[in-house]
Structure 1
Amino acid sequence: MREEPTPPVPRSPARGTPVFEQFTAPEQVGPVLREALAACWTDVSNAGGAAGFPYPPVDRSDTVPALERIIDALAPRSCRLLTVVQDGEPVGWLNLRRDLFELIAHWGTLHHVQTHPKVQGQGYGAALVQEARRVARDEMGLEQLRLAARAGVGLEDFYGRLGWREIGRWPGALRLADGDDRDEILMHLSAL
């Protein structure tokens, strides 16, 4: 059963007010939405976005199998897919996960945070991350969130403005090309 969308994003971009949608089971994600999410991921990656594919160009043969793995893992307690929709079209999405092992079940992680290039800079990404924070706290009972981000594209500043704190780096962990090694930035959000 698909959950009701949450209230609209507080900021109202020119093209219309977006809403959030949340999916907690594979059968909730129909073929049209799957195609739209894969297309978004392809466009984000090919525009240089740090969303899981470091070597553009990518196409559906890259994004569809990775997306299907995320969708297949959806479960209310451990794995959710959040989308932000503008004028009926998904323009961003992320994956919110938790490990159910009791030692670490109080925190979750964000993965593949992305907004389509045509709406970047309009507040959708920030609103989506804030919605993930609300879902993590209010619906999943999580106490903190973590994520890893690619250095060199301003993500630490983006997340910092949303209350996230850099807690460390893996130096040179991400090799984008010969001579282009980037740090992987470890970020933390507590007191959800």
Structure 2
Amino acid sequence: MLRSLVLNQCTTGAHVDDLLRRALVSCWLDVSNAGGAVGFPVPPVPEDEVVRAVDALISELHPDRCRLLTASDGRGLAGWLVLHRDPAPLVAHRASVHRVQSRPERRGEGVGTRLMTFAREVARDELGVEQLQLTARSGMGLEEFYAKLGWREIGRWPGALRIAPGDDRDEILLHLPL
């Protein structure tokens, strides 16, 4: 049940135990191999590539710059995302959201909505940022999901993502003022 969804954040690598690490790998692998637009071009994605990506993400965690936000319940990890803030003075007022994903079998349960709402709260209340940004891959129906949450498309980079030969997709730039 969605009400029992527990939202959590990891601000350092020490907050990610082996159980969570394995769950992140499993989720990212399942989402990628189901065709999710979360950083890998075309399924099937080799597990060792996902393991390396998770380990790199864990090594980047930092309270002021990079946070891992998770949603879990009695069935395990339901979804996760990364909230990244560059502390450089010119851009410290904004943060970006990356790798938004929910387990394929949990789609339609509101996991993504809860994670995005949590990201908004953490960004505003804990990181003190004034706006969020993210990019999405066209052709996935993501524009509608983000629009329902108040995000606004501010541009597109035509053909920026080459999924496979002959399959170029736009990269959609989205913005959310806090």
Asked if Structure 1 and Structure 2 have the same fold, meaning a TM-score greater than 0.5 normalized by the shorter chain, the answer is: yes
Question: What's the counterpart of residue 103 of structure 1?
Answer: 90
Verify: 1:60 aligned to 2:39, yes or no.
Answer: no
**How far apart, CA to CA, are the structure 2 residues paired with 1:24 and 1:165?**
28
Question: What's the counterpart of residue 74 of structure 1?
Answer: 61
Verify: 1:51 aligned to 2:38, yes or no.
Answer: yes
The total of aligned residue pairs comes to 178
Question: What's the counterpart of residue 116 of structure 1?
Answer: 103
Deviations 1:53-107 (A, max 9, x none): 1111013201111111111011111100000002151110000000010110000
**How far apart, CA to CA, are the structure 1 residues paired with 2:151 and 2:55?**
29
Verify: 1:182 aligned to 2:152, yes or no.
Answer: no
Amino acid at match of 2:112: G
TM-score by length of 1: 0.90
**How far apart, CA to CA, are the structure 2 residues paired with 1:98 and 1:117?**
28
Amino acid at match of 2:124: R
Verify: 1:40 aligned to 2:51, yes or no.
Answer: no
Question: What's the counterpart of residue 126 of structure 2?
Answer: 139
**How far apart, CA to CA, are the structure 2 residues paired with 1:152 and 1:110?**
19
Question: What's the counterpart of residue 4 of structure 1?
Answer: none
| 53-62 vs 168-177, which moves further | 53-62
Amino acid at match of 1:142: V
Verify: 1:169 aligned to 2:156, yes or no.
Answer: yes
Verify: 1:128 aligned to 2:142, yes or no.
Answer: no
Once the two structures are TM-superposed, the CA of residue 22 in structure 1 deviates from its matched residue by: 0.5
Aligned-pair identity (%): 54
What runs of 5+ residues in structure 2 fail to find an aligned partner? Answer: none
Amino acid at match of 1:143: E
* Moved >2 Å (runs of 4+): none
Point out the structure with the larger helix share. 2
Verify: 1:152 aligned to 2:139, yes or no.
Answer: yes
Question: What's the counterpart of residue 16 of structure 2?
Answer: 29
Amino acid at match of 1:76: P
Equivalent residue of 2:158, what SS? strand
Amino acid at match of 2:103: H
**How far apart, CA to CA, are the structure 2 residues paired with 1:66 and 1:76?**
20
Across the aligned residues of Structure 1 and Structure 2, the Cα RMSD in angstroms comes to 1.0
What runs of 5+ residues in structure 1 fail to find an aligned partner? Answer: 1-11
TM-score by length of 2: 0.97
